Structure 1
């Protein structure tokens, strides 16, 4: 029985089952608004309507994705809604599964991650969003760069950018490979191809209007959100008037500093998984549009960090707090009163991820700090 549970095929079947069940559940209880938004965006795209207006007779909220996403979603849009939902959820779930399997981890580490992250994955795919795809394509980019498959890597990052802009963070992995003009021409070409896809159906003037409408929608969304993020924590618990752009600038500065530090030390190979965890967490906790379902991205980063960090009381404690407050807080096993009166109002779902991100910065900037402290402590004892 234990061997079966630790078998990758068993996990694959289990993930497929979960995807189908969740899709059917959401369909029969009528909670599939995001799927309708994506579906209607495809129809509006071919009708040359503004994708980014409200259409309250069809769905609530608005479409915020890049125009090229409407083209990506075509295979699911023209099917009956229930069938489209099942296939979409299967595609998202199994792509995520495949990305974790692609990591150069031990089999038991992959299985550990895939099983324990299920509650967070359920939260994400239950909303029928793209978040598991985004983390999957970031991982695929890293793995492809590691294998020198630069064309694949460049397309993964380009597609990710045109799903959600922050998905383009995967481009950072190219910095840790030897500079080749051919590689960067490939990156540019893949970006231009995905960017230009709407030109297959739109004139140049219509294409420019389409992108103008997209930028306007992003600006509007940015101005009204703080998200389940470090900004949400600071504004709700510390200083209500805190500047979101300033906090994000600090996050960008720290990330750029980490990249420079790794390049100077030439130690990417030693901490590549910690760095992967770093960007998966960073891209969510500093994102003003983050919400509970997006935490499949940050949570995957935390799991990767925990698996590749030497175990200590600190790492185990941080991971335990993370699992309770981040992974389990949206589920029915978590106390409703605490969730509604503390976790949601104060963005506490983000807090463990923020603490772990800070811990990771010490690992990147001071990789030998622990051993130095032990030496100092031993000297004091002597």
Structure 2
């Protein structure tokens, strides 16, 4: 018996729609990644973030993806420039149709990118932008599993107070991150060590010659110099300060607040200038690490032959958060993903946490993010062999610190 034309067309249309839905379900889920892959941005950070993201992407896809769909990472190079970050995020959302954006690792860029994420109501997971201002905007789309300036300020102020130094000068990059961290330290010192004489000087992050800032320190050395700069400026300042005999020295401690000592290119750029540096850090092998974190660390070492570092883990958690949100939301609807991120109890590569709902710099933040203080006591010393003076469950022990003979 012949099927009437109308019924036949309906059957064909239904079949075609079913095939379209099935094909869509098999399409990869696109997640946007905006990082610095070329100067003037921190390329070394961008590389590490990408390494961490790729490890987790491969693990997730090997395990079947999210809701039966593979994860595809779509990269854009923001060059560490806010305007390029804004354009990159716009492209990822409107042209590439990503369901979320992550990877941000420079605060000025993140501050530009979150405006775009808010406008399009797309989840944005901040990997490594420390500026408190990223949180203070209280955008519902923005989540912060990484470190924040107020956390560093409190930690450094406690260390300064314990070391009983009286005069401290900070050299900071002229960015939202650098100036923000310098101010956070100032506020924390008012509570922890109000008698400390503290000031900071801003330096051009694109500069090459910082001797005008270094020479006055040689003439009138402080008891401690803090640094809040990213490479390459951070490395240049360290070398010029060491060449002038300023720090580290018998008179002046060097305390870095940017966490640069675990960068793969640290020692090849600073040599002797890094010896005796005290470091605020977010990872040390002595820290308790979950099984998943150990797996990520092992994979990273196999792929790069380098020791794992905090950016690897932060990037890994950033992507895992998005994948978990997709699974809990049972899809990629942005509102459902945002709700999932707000309410989930997340178990990642660095531990277990929930995002805070407090206002201000704690908004959508992992508030009690673990940190350490350690000292580099030899040239080319890996972090695993450094002197741990404070960590989760390990009280601050400044009596362990070592100083150069001259």
Q: How would you bin the TM-score normalised by the shorter chain?
A: under 0.3
TM-score (norm 2): 0.23
More strand by proportion, 1 or 2? 2
More helix by proportion, 1 or 2? 1
